[in-house]
Amino acid sequence: MANARKRLGVEPGDLVEKTIWASPAGKKRIAERLAAMLPAHKTYVEPFAGSGAVFFAKEAVATEVLNDADLEIADAYRLLKKLTAKDLDRLRKLPWVGDEKTFKGLLDVEPQDNVERLHRFLYLTHFSYGKMRGRSFSPSVVGVEAKTIKRIEQFAPRLRNVKVYGGDYERVVRQYDSKDTAFFLDPPYPGYNVEVGESDFDEERFFEVLRSLKGKFLITYGIRGAFPALAKQTGWWMKRIRTPRTISSMRGVGGSSVLTQLLVANYEPTLKHWAGEVDLEDVSPPSVAGASRPAGATFAATSALVKGLDPNDERFVLGIVLEPEVVDAQGDIYSVEEVRAAAHRFLEEFGGIGLMHQLRVNDQVKILESYLAPADFSLGGISVRRGTWLLAVRVLSDELWTRIKEGELTGLSIGGTARRVPEPQPGTGAEMSAPAAPPPVPPPPVPDPPEAPERSQEAP
């Protein structure tokens, strides 16, 4: 990696945040970490190249391949490959300052040669709203000078021996697949669309292509869509990461400032370069009856159900999922902020219901409400503390409803993974076991008897 930095003119300690151009949901912030996770290989293939952040962060090998379904991106890579010193001098003299008139003038112009074509692509990419190369100029870049020329000087030589393709990814994957091939795949994220500039994607075909590969692959993927569930069934290595989502701050987009993604591989990657900037978490498949849970890694907090609040609303059940500032069965306490984070991530990333932390019952129970108590209040004779997470469901299953009415199922329970982190005891300098945070990846709350499994302490 140090050699790659030196070759690209990047000083030690500097993070490569951009290559020649940026792309929505690109991997520029974590490119070096991803490159360090790749297995030994003689052939490297990026079937969804985009800005090529991981490619530019890794060491060169004998055969390297970039492909993108966007033919303009593929064309730009080809033009950069054969860029001469004379061409670069011409590029320097063309406009590189954000200006709406220049931007609109380039939208419908027909470039006269390769230099003009490359300039048009790079200018519209850099100054368009969200880096999406759309027809909207980004008002935040007025008067800003792009550093594109400097980046071309740093990164374009790396493309000299690279094979560039444009079109469907499968053709390239099949052509270069071998036991010595490493693939990095960052396909579109189904279910996000405008949020990250992606569109629909055939996940089943993608999954089948991956299962047939001889080579090793590392994938970044969204948490929505069908692929995550398909991948869990294979036994592939999976981790969850949360990276900054810069597009959220742009006008008209909003939403979470963090994009949760999956890392998936058909080998065991090294993780020594992951620390600090992003969260890296285990992704465990849904548990099934009889499945064991890792010792010292699971916990559950159970609270009572509240039934019969509205006699006319048959099978409506309300329960407390997680309560702040209350010691649970394992001796842990959750802050208001931790409860809020768990509630939000449940709806954003999961939304499923299980039974006894084992069987999924999504088709038998429907979530009606999920909210955080804005103040202390009383509900059905139960005192509810401010910041408490409550969940209301309608029970569709006759069997489950009978078990609830007869008192066999008496509570909602949230289960997940956590670790204890030592922290200084105030005033003494001594260390103590800090309260465990709510689960980084909370499994769904489930109707459950009011009991919790023991939790063994896990070393930080």
Average pLDDT over every residue of 156-161: 94
Residue 432 pLDDT > 90, yes or no?
A: no
Shared domain for 330 and 262, answered yes or no, is no
What would the pLDDT profile of 163-200 be if each residue is shown by its tens digit? Answer: 999 999 999 999 999 999 999 999 988 876 544 445 57
User: Which amino acid appears at position 331 of this protein?
Assistant: G
Residue 270 pLDDT > 70, yes or no?
A: yes
Q: Answer whether residue 332 is part of any domain.
A: yes
Confidence band, pLDDT 50/70/90 cuts, at residue 349: low
Residue 57 pLDDT > 80, yes or no?
A: yes
Most confident of 66-70, 273-277, 407-411: 66-70
CA distance 339 to 373: 11
Average pLDDT over every residue of 229-244: 86
Shared domain for 359 and 401, answered yes or no, is yes
CA distance 445 to 346: 9
Q: How many percent of the chain have pLDDT more than 70?
A: 63
Phi-psi region of 422 (alpha: psi -120 to 50; beta: other; left: phi over 0): beta
CA distance 413 to 417: 14
| Mean pLDDT score of the chain | 75
- Domain boundary (230, 250, 282) is at 282
> Quick one: CA dihedral 383, 386, 388, 394, positive or negative?
positive
What would the pLDDT profile of 58-71 be if each residue is shown by its tens digit? Answer: 999 999 999 999 99
What would the pLDDT profile of 356-400 be if each residue is shown by its tens digit? Answer: 544 556 567 788 888 898 988 887 667 788 898 888 888 888 777
CA distance 91 to 96: 9
On whether the CB atoms of residues 22 and 150 are closer than 8 A, the answer is no
- If one compares 87 and 13, the residue with the highest pLDDT of the two is 87
CA distance 19 to 323: 46
Strands 181-185, 43-46: pairing is parallel
Q: Answer whether residue 90 is part of any domain.
A: yes
Most confident of 85-94, 183-192, 282-291: 85-94
CA distance 416 to 439: 5
Output the pLDDT for position 119.
95
DSSP letters of 74-93? HHHHHHHHT--HHHHHHHHT
Q: Answer whether residue 271 is part of any domain.
A: yes
On whether the CB atoms of residues 408 and 448 are closer than 8 A, the answer is no
Output the pLDDT for position 222.
87
Average pLDDT over every residue of 17-31: 75
Output the pLDDT for position 241.
83
- If one compares 153 and 27, the residue with the highest pLDDT of the two is 153
Helices (H), 280-430: 336-345, 398-405
Shared domain for 328 and 422, answered yes or no, is yes
Most confident of 225-229, 240-244, 263-267, 285-289: 263-267
Q: How many CA atoms within 13 Å lie on the side-chain side of 11?
A: 2
User: Which amino acid appears at position 411 of this protein?
Assistant: G
Output the pLDDT for position 138.
80
What CATH code is carried by the domain that includes residue 73?
A: 3.40.50.150
Q: Cα angle at 320 between 314 and 321, to 5 degrees? A: 115
Q: Answer whether residue 163 is part of any domain.
A: yes
Output the pLDDT for position 451.
36
Q: Answer whether residue 456 is part of any domain.
A: no
Shared domain for 334 and 216, answered yes or no, is no
- Domain boundary (248, 282, 316) is at 282
Output the pLDDT for position 158.
94
SS3 337: helix
Q: What is the CA radius of gyration of the chain?
A: 26
Output the pLDDT for position 180.
97
Q: Answer whether residue 291 is part of any domain.
A: no
The least confident of 263-267, 424-428, 450-454 is: 450-454
Q: Which two tokens stand for residue 213?
A: 């590969």
Which backbone phi and psi does 140 adopt, to 5 degrees? -75, -10
Q: Residue 113: which residues within 8 A CB-CB, separation 6 or more?
A: none
The least confident of 154-168, 169-183, 212-226, 334-348 is: 334-348
Q: Answer whether residue 455 is part of any domain.
A: no
Give counts: helices (H), strands (E), the chain.
13, 20
Residue 111 pLDDT > 90, yes or no?
A: yes
Shared domain for 334 and 267, answered yes or no, is no
Residue 263 pLDDT > 90, yes or no?
A: yes
Shared domain for 272 and 350, answered yes or no, is no
On whether the CB atoms of residues 262 and 220 are closer than 8 A, the answer is yes
Domain that holds residue 203: 2-282
On whether the CB atoms of residues 186 and 151 are closer than 8 A, the answer is no
Average pLDDT over every residue of 235-263: 67
Q: Answer whether residue 60 is part of any domain.
A: yes
Q: Which two tokens stand for residue 338?
A: 């931790």
Most confident of 8-12, 104-108, 396-400: 104-108
- If one compares 11 and 278, the residue with the highest pLDDT of the two is 278
On whether the CB atoms of residues 346 and 442 are closer than 8 A, the answer is yes
> Quick one: CA dihedral 336, 337, 341, 347, positive or negative?
positive
Strands 365-372, 382-384: pairing is unpaired
Q: Residue 387: which residues within 8 A CB-CB, separation 6 or more?
A: 324, 325, 336, 339, 340, 372, 373
Output the pLDDT for position 324.
85
Most confident of 257-266, 321-330, 347-356: 257-266
pTM, two decimals, is 0.60
Shared domain for 331 and 187, answered yes or no, is no
Shared domain for 87 and 210, answered yes or no, is yes
Shared domain for 250 and 375, answered yes or no, is no
- Domain boundary (282, 308, 335) is at 282
Q: Which of 53, 39, 46, 37 is nearest to 69 (CA)?
A: 46
Residue 142 pLDDT > 60, yes or no?
A: yes
Shared domain for 148 and 263, answered yes or no, is yes
Output the pLDDT for position 354.
59
Q: Which of 368, 361, 352 is nearest to 397 (CA)?
A: 361
CA distance 54 to 130: 20
Average pLDDT over every residue of 423-443: 44
Output the pLDDT for position 91.
95
The least confident of 85-94, 126-135, 188-197, 215-224 is: 188-197
Q: How many domains does the chain have?
A: 2
Shared domain for 351 and 402, answered yes or no, is yes
Give the DSSP letter of residue 286: P
CB atoms within 10 A of CB 117: 16
Residue 117 pLDDT > 60, yes or no?
A: yes
Shared domain for 270 and 318, answered yes or no, is no
Helices (H), 145-226: 148-155, 169-176, 203-211
On whether the CB atoms of residues 69 and 169 are closer than 8 A, the answer is yes
Output the pLDDT for position 288.
24
Confidence band, pLDDT 50/70/90 cuts, at residue 14: very low
